[in-house]
Amino acid sequence: MTSEIKRRPVLRTLGLIAALAGGGAQAQDPYARERAALLQEIAAMARDTGAETGRPVFGARVMAAMAKVPRHRFVPALYGSMAYANRPLPIGHGQTISQPYIVALMTDLLDLKPGDAVLEIGTGSGYQAAVLAELVDRVYSIEIIEPVGKDSAALLRQLGYKNIETRIGDGYNGWLERSPFDAIIVTAAAPQVPPALVAQLKPGGRMVIPVGRESDVQFLHVMVKQADGSISTQRSLPVRFVPLTRNK
């Protein structure tokens, strides 16, 4: 759900990327080389933006999740040839699937642990939820646009993600019945951080959310809830997301 951010190609490959590009992998997976090239570009961008994000290298678990999730299953057939391009793509209803680098960055900024429960606001295509599901115990994802939410829920079930629970609703209010959460990720931009999401975050939990109006410069905010309930916030990269919509 973001605008494209481009950086120069990386000059070296990771062991994971080299393995994906191998002949055996290519024979079994026709997208292996494209996925390997995408991971290489994500690693390059992480290095190039590290001074701004504090994350010059993304964690091995995050990169492994990005390598595993089949992005081509989450994009419309019309854009299948661009599934592993490092750019957002339309998915209909005025929504997009986010740029893979941004997905990896936001995931890495959450500092996820295997036993965590994560709330995602804005299921969209389901791609971000799938990446999260590779890393944590439970993912709860809310989508306000009913046909988008139903399609992504069906796809996630088809792909075998049994640790993702979805619902149609207004993500601004969070998901009180499943709270508190170890981490919250918001994939649409809000003018201000929704108070309900702050309230539903566990002490020690982290939230990554783009903040800013559609007509303004938006920035990723990384928020950490302290033991006393106070919030520390760090501003990261400028981004461009679709707006967080509300039920009328």
Asked about 98 being catalytic, the answer comes back as yes
Is the dihedral angle over the CA atoms 44, 45, 46, 48 positive or is it negative? positive
Task: Give the torsion through C-alpha atoms of 105, 110, 115, 116, to 10 deg.
Answer: -120
Distance CA 87, CA 102 (A): 9
Q: Which of 3, 98, 141, 230 does the annotation list as catalytic?
A: 98
Report yes or no: 112 and 104 within 8 Å, Cβ to Cβ. Answer: no
Handedness of CA 53, 41, 59, 191 (dihedral sign): positive
Q: Which helix (H) or strand (E) holds 158?
A: helix 146-158
At 6, list the tokens.
């481009």
In this structure, what token pair is assigned to residue 50? 């590290």
What residues act catalytically? 98
